Amino acid sequence: MNNASTPPEHRSGIVALVGRPNVGKSTLLNRFVGEKLAIVSPKPQTTRNRILGILNEPNLQIAFLDTPGVHKAKGPLHQFMVETAMSAIDEVDAVLFVIEPALKSDNTVEVGEVATWIVERVRSAKKPVILAINKIDLIDKPLILPVIDAYRKALPEAEIFPVCARTGEGLPELISGLGALLPPGPPLFPEDMLTDQAERTIVAELIREQVLRHCRDEVPYSTAVAIDHFDESEREPNMPVEPGKLAGLVRIAATIFVERDSQKAIVIGKGAKMLKLIGASARHEIERLLGTHVYLSLLVKVEKHWSERPESLRRFGYKGQ
């Protein structure tokens, strides 16, 4: 048989995105799949749970598993986040270790304690690994070289790809490199599937994203969102919709939980202005996700020390997964 006429072998597998907080893992996931599956904000530790996003290309399917940022955890919620990230390494076919090009004042690079933890865990799991240096648009190109040198010494077995999740620079090469690490085989998921997350779960995260964005540093990370009501009876799912237009209506009621009365006052704001802003911004994102008009009702409640109580962590989806 003529090798030139033989179709390329199909490859598929699961790749864990791991790294420190705020290095751009969620932005990478969203860019890979072409949809907003993971929320992003300027604040570290925005991602709290695993998020599956599926990339389909000719002869290649990569199921990316976005994970919380690895950090020195204090408290049950943050310990859960780190355990979620580290345990994912044992369950995948390959690891995409994401860093950002952080240099010291003398333009040297130090591989820190957290990065060393990740390197050691990847090695102990004996997983193939690729290193992605994200956010290369924020640094002069010659300054990427010390970063490459430092991590090549720390993780010599990893191929290194400088990329920019925001612009897409370097991502085709990165995808090809990841595909080469995966085993031959048919797709693991249906080719029209983007994620295994329920819409209600994504909606709750989109609301939490707007709390983080609009409240900035006034409200800490101990904010959770619960969906109380999700009425799709007026959604009209089979109606063809023109791009950029919405059809039908979904009615959603959600509760934003905080840990102190002072935080509740901040989230609501004077004259409920902050809550209205959060609601309007979240509704826009949810409508884009669902392709329908959305009626969104928000409440704010105090549940003291919820991030330290196992029963509350389970109720908000942060335990037993």
Parts of the chain belonging to CATH 3.40.50.300: 3-181
Give the pLDDT confidence score for residue 7 in this predicted structure. 59
Phi-psi region of 282 (alpha: psi -120 to 50; beta: other; left: phi over 0): alpha
Q: In this predicted structure, what is the pLDDT of residue 4?
A: 52
Handedness of CA 252, 36, 144, 111 (dihedral sign): positive
Q: In this predicted model, what pLDDT tens digit does every residue of 138-177 receive, in sequence order?
A: 888 888 999 999 999 999 999 999 999 999 999 999 999 9
Contact between residue 215 and residue 256 where contact means Cβ atoms under 8 Å apart: no
**Phi, psi (rounded to 5 degrees) for 100:** -120, 155
Q: What pLDDT does residue 47 have?
A: 78
Domain with CATH 3.30.300.20 in the chain: 199-315
Q: Which fold has domain 3-181?
A: Rossmann fold (3.40.50)
Strands 224-234 and 249-258: antiparallel
Measuring CA to CA, which residue among 150, 104, 113 is closest to residue 131? Answer: 150
> In terms of CATH architecture, what is 199-315?
2-Layer Sandwich (3.30)
pTM to 2 decimals?
A: 0.87
Tell me the C-alpha distance between 57 and 141, whole Å. Answer: 30
Low-confidence ranges of the chain (pLDDT < 50): 1-2, 320-321
The 10 Å Cβ neighbour count of residue 132 is 28
